[in-house]
Amino acid sequence: MDSEIISRLKEAVGSDYVITDEEKARPFLIDWTKRFRGRAVVVRPGSTEEVSRVMAIAYDTRTPVVPQSGGTTLVGGSIPDDSGRAILLSLGRMNKVEEIDTGNDTVTVQAGLILEQLHRAVEEKGRFFPLSFGAQGSAQIGGALATNAGGTAVLRYGNMRDLCLGLEVVLPDGRVMTALRGLRKDNTGYDLKQLFIGSEGTLGVITRAVLKLFPIPRGRQTALVGIPDLESSVKLLDRVKAAAGSELTGFELIQRKCIERVAEQLPGVELPGPVDDCPWWILAELSSQAEQGASLEAILAEAFEAGEVANAYLAQSLSDSEAFWRIRESIPEADASVGNNLHNDVSLKISLIPEFLEVTVKRLYEAYPWLDPSLYGHLGDGNIHFNIGSIPSNLAFENEEGIRRITYEEVVKRNGSISAEHGIGQLKRGHFLALKDPLELEIMERISRAIDPRGIMNPGKLLADRKD
């Protein structure tokens, strides 16, 4: 990078916060899956004002900017290319909880705040922020917004888009759009924050946000439920929704083999009993504010009578609940211990999932008789982690393109999504550009040009390279 740009950046944020030393910059320039690496000057602004100055310099000099918060994306969305031309804009110093408003049930935060620290801060005020996922000890709010993060509480509370009431964004030219109103209703023109949420850093830099808070849930009922076949999963979901409504907070589908593998590979994780009598299992959870809500036991008894349920373990204590969730959350680790697999993160209309799973697995077995799928996911959201491995695992990775092609073909045929919650970034860009409706891609590109006319925001991610 031009030394004049570097000295302007140092003037903008202070020379301590412009990192050109390769050794010191390295942690910012490799993603945590170790698949993506790049080169860039790392700039660490401490305020919106400083982000604004950095963007004005980038705009003026047509320097690409890659925004980065926690860096826990699985798709290489916050890693620059290896040209060394880009600014890696790290938001991590902007990590404050600015205001918790219990009357409005909102919190105003800076983009670099770590998700787990937000959880703690609002819990001290008797409030609950529901976004939750494995990487919450590292992931930051700005990135969670930029990727519209999902996680385990989407069924009840929605994803990051649903949890955000206002944003402050620094535009590509350095001007600051402050729309931190924190209103639940506001029909004054286009809802601009919706554009930036989920745009993967390609339209501007999110610097602050107003987020919704909720009361801390009290009652909690959890069960691990064996079902006779895949069709029963959708019938049971329907039944639980009708009986429990918004108290339903978790409904995870798990292939029997995944549970057995957890028990085999991770001796610390205990099963509540044998699971070999059912091919598929459901981890269901209700939670409510009321002392007495719907009874999960009674709902399951009715489902048993109707033949939708063949076996069920009900948690008798909070520690039982946690043990059941530990089984679900340990599946990736158990899979990794036998050689890992190709991760897919697809979504479909819930009603199509049983048929999708049967047809796609059958097609894959016909092409690759040696494969070893690991199937589980958030059935209540229509989101399946359709992971395909093999033993030994190299067979699956050597056939990555063919396996993904068959999987995505079946997803697209059913109007599904090839990325339910992880985003596109670098990893899925080729498939995304090939499979997405060309008219939708054209409109995305028009919006990108309207907001980022010089094309400096996170190039090489999500959208195609501009041809001008």
Kindly identify the residues of this chain, within the stretch 230-269, that bind its own copies according to CB under 8 A.
234, 238, 241-247
| Binding characters for its own copies, 329-368, by CB under 8 A (x = yes) | ------------------xxxxxx----------------
Contacting residue, 20, 61, 104, 393, with its own copies by CB under 8 A: 104
Scanning residues 284 to 323, which ones bind its own copies (CB under 8 A)? 288-295
- Give, in order, the Cα–Cα distances in Å from 84 to each of 37, 77, 124: 11, 16, 43
Would you call 362 exposed, middle or buried from its count of C-beta atoms within 10 A (0-12, 13-18, 19+)?
exposed
Scanning residues 38 to 57, which ones bind its own copies (CB under 8 A)? none
Write a three-state SS string for 302-314.
Answer: HHHHCCCCCEEEE
Contact 106/211 with Cβ under 8 angstroms? yes
Q: Among candidates 5, 2, 6, 12, which has minimal Cα distance to 47?
A: 12
How many residues are there in the chain? 468
Q: Among candidates 330, 294, 57, which has minimal Cα distance to 174?
A: 57
Report in angstroms how near the CB of residue 70 gets to its own copies at its nearest.
Answer: 17
Scanning residues 364 to 393, which ones bind its own copies (CB under 8 A)? 378, 381-383
Residue 90: strand pairing partners? 68
Taking the C-alpha atoms of residue 426 and residue 41, their distance in angstroms, rounded to an integer, is 20
Report in angstroms how near the CB of residue 179 gets to its own copies at its nearest.
Answer: 6
Taking the C-alpha atoms of residue 141 and residue 139, their distance in angstroms, rounded to an integer, is 7
Scanning residues 397 to 426, which ones bind its own copies (CB under 8 A)? 415-424
Encoded tokens for 11: 């003037």
Report in angstroms how near the CB of residue 332 gets to its own copies at its nearest.
Answer: 18
Q: Among candidates 345, 386, 332, 9, which has minimal Cα distance to 148?
A: 345
Q: Is 462 in the site for its own copies (CB under 8 A)?
A: yes
Taking the C-alpha atoms of residue 173 and residue 456, their distance in angstroms, rounded to an integer, is 10
The DSSP letter of residue 385 is: E
Kindly write down the DSSP assignment for every residue of 352-381, as one continuous string: GHHHHHHHHHHHHHHH-TTEEEEEEEEGGG
The DSSP letter of residue 380 is: G
Q: What are phi and psi for residue 329, nearest 5 degrees? A: -75, -15
Contact 242/86 with Cβ under 8 angstroms? no
Contacting residue, 437, 465, 467, 468, with its own copies by CB under 8 A: 437
Segment interacting with its own copies, rule: CB under 8 A, options 17-25, 156-164, 260-268, 330-338: 156-164
Segment interacting with its own copies, rule: CB under 8 A, options 13-21, 177-185, 263-271, 273-281: 177-185
Contact 97/113 with Cβ under 8 angstroms? yes
Report in angstroms how near the CB of residue 335 gets to its own copies at its nearest.
Answer: 22
State which residue, 71 or 389, has the beta carbon closest to its own copies: 71
Report in angstroms how near the CB of residue 291 gets to its own copies at its nearest.
Answer: 7
State which residue, 244 or 282, has the beta carbon closest to its own copies: 244
State which residue, 171 or 206, has the beta carbon closest to its own copies: 171
State which residue, 28 or 196, has the beta carbon closest to its own copies: 196
Segment interacting with its own copies, rule: CB under 8 A, options 13-21, 60-68, 260-268, 445-453: 445-453
- What's the Rg (C-alpha) of the chain? 23
Alpha helices in 151-221 (DSSP H): 154-157, 160-163, 193-196
Contacting residue, 36, 59, 376, 432, with its own copies by CB under 8 A: 432
State which residue, 63 or 147, has the beta carbon closest to its own copies: 147
Q: Is 24 in the site for its own copies (CB under 8 A)?
A: no
State which residue, 41 or 248, has the beta carbon closest to its own copies: 248
Size of the site for its own copies (CB under 8 A): 95
Q: Crossing angle, helix 230-244 and helix 353-367, to 10 degrees?
A: 160
| Binding characters for its own copies, 123-152, by CB under 8 A (x = yes) | ---x--------------------xx-x--
Q: Crossing angle, helix 296-305 and helix 230-244, to 10 degrees?
A: 140
Contacting residue, 119, 405, 436, 454, with its own copies by CB under 8 A: 436
Q: Is 179 in the site for its own copies (CB under 8 A)?
A: yes
CB atoms within 10 A of CB 262: 25
Scanning residues 205 to 224, which ones bind its own copies (CB under 8 A)? 214-215, 217
State which residue, 54 or 180, has the beta carbon closest to its own copies: 180
Report in angstroms how near the CB of residue 187 gets to its own copies at its nearest.
Answer: 5
State which residue, 13 or 170, has the beta carbon closest to its own copies: 170
Contacting residue, 175, 307, 367, 466, with its own copies by CB under 8 A: 175
